[in-house]
Chain A
Amino acid sequence: MDNRLLINLIPGETFLHKLTGKTKVRTFLILMVYIIMSFDLRLIMPLSILSIMGLVSLKPQWKIIKFFFIIIGLMNVLNIVLFWLADPNIGTMWCGGTTTVLFRLTERLFLSAETLWYLCVRFIKMMTSFMVSLVFILAITPSELAAGLYSIKVPYKICTIFSIAFRYIPDIGRDFQNIKISLQTRGVELDPKKSSIGKRLKQNILILVPLITTSFDRVGNISNAMDLRGYGRGRTRTYYSEHEELKADKVFKALYIILILFCVYWIITQNIMAETLSMWYPFV
């Protein structure tokens, strides 16, 4: 049943799966800061390699992953092309002021070595943040996410939204299917060959009415079930899915604390105190 969709409901068996939700959420947040804070390939590359290793170690279903990779990859390519079109000289500002033109299309559109470097780093950075997110999503279950968020002082009523949503989305999907079927037999044409997009959109809206009614019925039942088992009684709560910290969690904790210190140092010296925006450029 696990990995049936992208999201697991039951934790998997690999090393990363077995970390606690707390470790997963905290590590993920730190790594996001780490990626965003710099355009330095020396910082990004190691994480990029680590995230690929992480992804492989999770033994995901590559078919679904591949699909996401293609979509995100294409969007990022589009993104850097647009960046280049908007300002072909963007690399010069980042790489210390030089402009080494590689080839020129028109007076305005040219490609410099600096811009190429900047755009490549940008692409790697975006793909790395995508991969880190993917590793995070694949490694965590919604309940662990709730527990992890709770561990960073997010109120538990907000955390519950995540786990409850994942619990009932498939049910709503099933309701949707049923409603669709009943409307189809009554004559709603949803076959793309037989009716136009506009018409189909309008008829899909017809499905929403009963879907909302049935969902509200369900919400009533769910909230009763939760009240009757004491939900919302206390200020705090614990999580069954959040197991005790293992050795790996402690190692991760040490690592992310070091990483936090490093990020703080970097952000202060390189971002806040820096005179100009700049990036590491080995070919000066």
Chain B
Amino acid sequence: MSTPIVEFKDFGFKYKSQSAPTLHDINLTICKGEKVLILGPSGSGKSTLANCINGLNPFSYDGVITGSCKVAGMETKDASIFALSKVVGTVLQDSDAQFVGLSVGEDIAFALENQSMPRKEMLPKVEWAAGVVGMSDFLMHVPYELSGGQKQKVALAGVLHGDVDLLIFDEPLASLDPRMGMTAVELIDRMHKEQNKTVVIVEHRLEDVLYRSVDRIVLMNEGRIVYDGVPDELLASDLLTRYGIREPLYIKAMKYAGCELTPDQNLSDIEGMDLSPFEDKLKQQQLVQLEKYVPKVGEEILKVQNVSFAYGKDPVLKNISFSVRRGEKVAFVGKNGAGKSTMAKLICGIIRPREGQVLINGTDYMKYSIKEIGEKIGYVMQNPNQMLVKDIIRDELELAMLLRGKSRQEIDEAVKKTLKMCGLYPMRNWPVSAVSYGQKKRVTIASILVLQPEIIILDEPTAGQDYRHYTEIMEFLDELNREYGITIVFITHDMHLAIQYTDRAIVFSEGELVADDSVFRVLSNDQVITRANLKQTSLYTLAMRLGIEPEAYIEHFINYERMVRAHGQQASD
């Protein structure tokens, strides 16, 4: 049990391209058979730390190591990425890009091919690895037929062979919907328990990882380890909020209720922990009278009526009807391929309905071109790099206006106003490439807002961002909604986002609209949750255990949180 497999001693790492070190004074030992979560906000160095174990640092990303890091007895700076890859298997975040084979079988075999293993020996190993991750029936499938979760399983199978003792998962939940995320966490747990692998998970989604127990959590901030110990102690402390990690919802609910949390209460296991000491407080909290939140909404600006759409013969949207009112915040939720992105494209006029009608301010939009619709409905893509075409922030904002042949004066006015709205005015002359990912996101939103659309649709606005940046973006959008009355539609599978920042969820499954209701009602409806590949939040579990009606409980929590947020804002104003 206590043979160390990874040993950092006074370790530091500085990328060649950066002036300051990314990691400082790392002292960390991971023993064989442990399951460790490395937690931290973006830029805390958690991925850098993982890459120092698998050899990407310094062999692929050049840099300087100080101190020592031993992996399976090898001093990493003297070893090679190849030698390390025999002991350490890494599953990267981008499940699509790491799929290098043209079929599942080939991808699983990739490492073996590189070892020049004869095909005869390769076949049983590939079959075994595919079996372990449950992909045996897919060996002859091409990557384009697989879901994100399946690709991730293949990636895992591809590093399982031979002497690999240590598995590193770099943000395994980043691109999965909630249900797939649960499956991934279960699978990782099975690797730990059944295959006896040492597991290191790099994530910032604490609650989702804790769905299966971990032995230890290492919390990082600004390149240093700030906590290294059991999960329960971390959950009871205030370190998570201090370092910008989202607390599990049930822990937050308990803290709101004023429960005294201590490390010996089995806090990481919501199903198993003893609630009796908290029951009174939690129930009392429920009695606190809160101002009922009523969203300010205006007239109907978008109406979708009995819309159907198909690519070729396969129907993607079936008889969908809903409407959006001015000033609303709506979430489109559902698993990948459920039709939510297609719906967004349809609303933007990129594809047009086969049947049914889309009305914008009461007018059938068939007579508008995509460009004209773009002035009323803006669409912000998930990946800002796919949207940014100009070098300078200001030019990026001007583009849409220039393409519409507006006068110089009009352009200057609109751009200035938008830059100010988005807090980008001081950076207006900066090159786009010089700003952070979150700021790029803001630039893309600004480049859409410049046309003063009535609705903006955002595809996964928080993908790839940690809680701090996530909150920043969402608060910014909330402000746009509050101050400027812009209607916002989110496409997301992040239920936390839906809970905290939207008034209404429209749930898609297999091209059908299965629910159109307030978020808390959707989240307390078992049937909808299953059909849409969503997941019960821990609030639901907590409510059930307390014997409180989940719908009421979740609603109360949301309202309470809104109040806390509003007060927080007042305090900071």
Contact = CB atoms under 8 A, between A and B. Distances in A.
B389 A9 contact: no
B370 A184 contact: yes
For A9, A229, A241, which residue has the most chain B Cβ atoms within 10 angstroms? Answer: A229
A73 B99 CA distance: 39
A230 B115 contact: yes
A233 B142 contact: no
A218 interface: yes
Interface stretch (B53-61, B322-330, B529-537): B53-61
A186 B100 contact: no
B142 A186 contact: no
A206 B389 contact: yes
A282 interface: no
Nearest to B450: A186
Interface string A233-259: 110111111111000000000000000
B59 A227 contact: yes
Contacts of A170: 144
A9 B100 contact: no
Given A231-B114, A234-B114, A187 B387 contact: no
Contacts of B448: 185-186
B400 A210 contact: no
A187 B400 contact: yes
A228 B102 contact: no
Nearest to A209: B389
A228 B404 contact: no
B461 interface: no
A167 interface: yes
A188 B385 contact: no
A150 to B, nearest CB: 10
A1 B386 contact: no
Interface in A160-196: 163-164, 166-167, 170-171, 175, 178-179, 181-189, 191, 194
A213 interface: yes
B140 interface: yes
Interface stretch (B371-379, B416-424, B498-506): B371-379
Interface string B358-393: 000000000001110110011101010111111000
B103 A9 contact: yes
B248 interface: no
Contacts of B55: 228
B112 interface: yes
Contacts of B554: none
A166 B99 CA distance: 12
B29 interface: no
Interface residues of A, number: 57
Given A181-B379, A189-B371, A240-B119, A227 B385 contact: no
Nearest to B383: A214
Contacts of A191: 369
B385 A229 contact: no
A222 interface: yes
Interface string B70-90: 000000000001100110001
A10 B103 contact: yes
Interface in B109-161: 109-120, 122, 126, 140-145, 155, 158-159
Nearest to B375: A187
A226 interface: yes
Interface in B403-423: 403-404
B389 A221 contact: no
Contacts of A57: none
B350 interface: yes
A167 B100 contact: yes
A179 B371 CA distance: 15
A23 B382 CA distance: 45
Contacts of A243: 119
Contacts of A185: 348, 350, 370-371, 373-374, 377-379, 448
A142 interface: yes
B116 A221 contact: no
Nearest to B399: A186
B71 to A, nearest CB: 13
Contacts, number: 181
B137 to A, nearest CB: 14
B502 to A, nearest CB: 22
A210 B386 contact: yes
A233 B56 CA distance: 14
Contact of B56 (A143, A181, A186, A228): A228
B122 A240 contact: yes
A242 B102 contact: no
B142 A1 contact: yes
A78 interface: no
Given A9-B102, A181-B345, A187-B403, A238 B118 contact: yes
Given A228-B81, A238-B116, A213 B385 contact: yes
B555 interface: no
Interface string A4-45: 000001100000000000000000000000000000000000
A160 to B, nearest CB: 9
A173 B60 CA distance: 28
B138 to A, nearest CB: 11
A141 interface: yes
B494 interface: no
A224 B448 CA distance: 34
A171 B97 CA distance: 9
Contacts of B113: 237-240
Nearest to A240: B109
A232 B59 CA distance: 13
B92 interface: yes
Contacts of B158: 229
B122 A143 contact: no
Contacts of B111: 229-230
B447 interface: yes
A230 B92 contact: no
A269 interface: no
Contact of B106 (A143, A207, A231): A143
Nearest to A194: B369
Nearest to A170: B144
A223 interface: yes
A225 B399 contact: no
A242 B118 CA distance: 10
B371 A187 contact: yes
A217 interface: yes
Interface string A115-136: 0000000000000000000000
B96 interface: yes
B88 to A, nearest CB: 8
B181 interface: no
A99 B527 CA distance: 87
14 contacts: A1-B145, A164-B100, A167-B100, A171-B96, A181-B350, A186-B448, A224-B92, A228-B56, A228-B92, A230-B111, A233-B114, A238-B113, A241-B102, A244-B119
Given A189-B371, A221-B98, 6 more contacts: A1-B142, A187-B400, A194-B369, A229-B111, A229-B159, A240-B122
